[in-house]
């Protein structure tokens, strides 16, 4: 397959391009600038990065797909060329959904605790040698994309539009089987100028939970509890609160069946992230005992 990335300088776009290269696809990419991460992720790859800028003449009918970044404008000359030629154009969330249709898709959204929740889920699954894929833009991860034939994929989501040609939120594009809403991650912007507009999108995500699906939500936040606790036919609702803990000598200790466990983060958001991750992996047939065994090694992650 021949794929061209418009906006490959975005971290997730660059990492996805590198993964497709590793899978044997012919990949090209363009952007107005290429950061250090893009250069590192594509180092040694067959991925072709032309000089910075947009080159519509490089968009030809030989391309099978074009993947467009989230910061690209509608008047981008390469995007317009692809549309004029009728080449299928995807946002990267749309491409990930297309790739992962047969996987169990787990979307995690929220505020500051979202990233730690994602990383904890990955750590537990890796500790237990369970096969998984992920698309998560987290500073602690060397790469933001891992794709294979694993049966599940962990997706760090948000409510921003997936691309200039698809204003549906990134999280909705993934069409989750299981979703976790950890908190309110709203900041006033052009997409969601009011908190009410943002909460409406979170409600849409919750309502998009399929029959037989699971919605995990943080009931410690009244706004999230209101969204998560709404009745939904054949959807399993799983509320959670911050993990039980205590403070002593300036440290925090998780209260667990294994005894008190020291943890490196002491804020309430991190305590809720632990419980959220626990609920996710519990629904992936990971017992509490296995969860705490994995959590005890998190400092080495």
Secondary structure of 119-177 as H, E, C letters: HHHHHHHHHCCCCCEEECCCCCCCCCEECCCCCEEEEECCCCEEECCEEEEHHHHCCCC
Looking at the domain assignment, is residue 97 inside a domain? no
106 and 82 part of one domain: no
Distance between alpha carbon 110 and the CA centroid of its chain, in Å? 11
Of 47, 62, 87, which residue sits at a domain end?
Answer: 87
Averaged pLDDT, 88-95: 97
Give the per-residue pLDDT at 169: 93
Q: How many domains does the chain have?
A: 2
% of the chain exceeding 90 in pLDDT: 81
Looking at the domain assignment, is residue 117 inside a domain? yes
Contact 95, 153 (CB under 8 A): no
% of the chain exceeding 70 in pLDDT: 94
The tokens describing 91, both together, are 């946002």
Looking at the domain assignment, is residue 260 inside a domain? yes
Give the per-residue pLDDT at 37: 59
Q: What angle do CA 231, 135, 116 make, to 5 degrees?
A: 70
Of 63, 87, 111, which residue sits at a domain end?
Answer: 87
CATH code at 197? 3.40.1190.10
Determine the straight-line distance between the first and last CA of the chain, rounded to whole angstroms: 35
Q: Per-residue DSSP letters for the chain?
A: -EEEEETTTSHHHHHHHHHHHHTT-EEEEEBS---HHHHHHTTTSS-EEPSSB--GGG--TT-SEEEE-TT--TT-HHHHHHHHHT--EEEHHHHHHHHTTTSEEEEEE-STHHHHHHHHHHHHHHHTT---EEE---TTSS-SEE-SS-SEEEEE--SSEEETTEEEEHHHHT--SEEEE-S------SS--SHHHHHHHHHHHHHTPPTT-EEEEETTSHHHHHHHTS--TT-EEEEE-PPPEEEETTEEEEEETTEEEEES--SHHHHHHHHHHHHHHHTTT--HHHHHHHHTTGGG-
77 and 116 part of one domain: no
188 and 42 part of one domain: no
Give the per-residue pLDDT at 34: 80
Looking at the domain assignment, is residue 14 inside a domain? yes
Q: What confidence category does residue 301 fall into, taking pLDDT thresholds of 50, 70 and 90?
A: very low
Of 87, 120, 138, which residue sits at a domain end?
Answer: 87
162 and 275 part of one domain: yes
Which neighbouring-strand residues pair with 261?
254
Q: Which domain holds residue 201?
A: 102-300
Averaged pLDDT, 53-72: 95
76 and 198 part of one domain: no
Give the per-residue pLDDT at 41: 58
219 and 116 part of one domain: yes
The closest alpha carbon to 4, from 77, 97, 103, 100, belongs to 77
Contact 100, 94 (CB under 8 A): no
The closest alpha carbon to 118, from 182, 203, 70, belongs to 182
Looking at the domain assignment, is residue 161 inside a domain? yes
181 and 276 part of one domain: yes
pLDDT at 289 over 50: yes
Q: What Cα–Cα distance (Å) separates residue 9 from each residue in 12, 23, 217, 231? A: 8, 20, 33, 42
CA dihedral defined by 124, 125, 129, 133, rounded to 10 degrees?
-150
184 and 65 part of one domain: no
Residue that wins the pLDDT comparison between 185 and 157: 157
Give the per-residue pLDDT at 275: 97
Looking at the domain assignment, is residue 148 inside a domain? yes
181 and 32 part of one domain: no
Looking at the domain assignment, is residue 92 inside a domain? no
201 vs 78: CA distance, rounded Å: 30
149 and 207 part of one domain: yes
106 and 74 part of one domain: no
229 vs 221: CA distance, rounded Å: 12
Looking at the domain assignment, is residue 95 inside a domain? no
259 and 156 part of one domain: yes
CATH code at 40? 3.40.50.720
pTM of the model: 0.93
pLDDT at 199 over 90: yes
Give the per-residue pLDDT at 213: 97
In terms of C-beta density within 10 A (0-12 exposed, 13-18 middle, 19 or more buried), how is residue 174 classed? buried
């Amino acid at each position: 397959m021949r794929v061209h990335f418009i906006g490959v300088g975005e971290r997730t776009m660059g990492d996805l391009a590198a993964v497709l290269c590793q899978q044997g696809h012919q990949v090209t990419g363009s952007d107005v600038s290429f950061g250090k991460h893009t250069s590192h992720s594509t180092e040694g790859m067959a991925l072709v990065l032309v000089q910075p800028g947009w080159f519509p003449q490089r968009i030809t009918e030989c391309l099978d797909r074009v993947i467009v970044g989230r910061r690209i404008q509608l008047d981008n000359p390469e995007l317009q060329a692809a549309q004029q030629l009728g080449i299928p154009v995807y946002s990267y969330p749309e491409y990930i959904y297309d790739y992962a249709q047969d996987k169990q898709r787990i979307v995690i959204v929220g505020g500051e605790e979202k990233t730690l929740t994602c990383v904890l889920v990955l750590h537990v699954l890796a500790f237990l040698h369970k096969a998984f894929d992920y698309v998560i833009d987290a500073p602690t991860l060397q790469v933001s994309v891992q794709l294979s034939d694993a049966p599940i994929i962990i997706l760090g989501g948000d409510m921003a539009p997936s691309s200039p040609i698809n204003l549906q939120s990134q999280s909705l594009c993934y069409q989750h089987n299981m979703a976790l809403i950890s908190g309110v991650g709203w900041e006033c912007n052009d997409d969601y100028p009011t908190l009410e507009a943002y909460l409406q999108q979170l409600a849409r995500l919750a309502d998009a939970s399929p029959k037989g699906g699971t919605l995990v939500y943080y009931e410690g936040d009244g706004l999230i509890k209101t969204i998560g606790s709404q009745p939904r036919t054949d959807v399993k609702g799983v509320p959670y609160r911050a993990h039980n803990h205590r403070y002593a000598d300036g440290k925090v200790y998780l209260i667990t069946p294994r005894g008190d466990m020291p943890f490196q983060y002491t804020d309430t958001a991190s305590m809720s992230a632990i419980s959220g991750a626990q609920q996710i992996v519990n629904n992936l047939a990971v017992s509490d005992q296995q969860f705490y065994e994995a959590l005890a090694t998190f400092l080495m992650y």
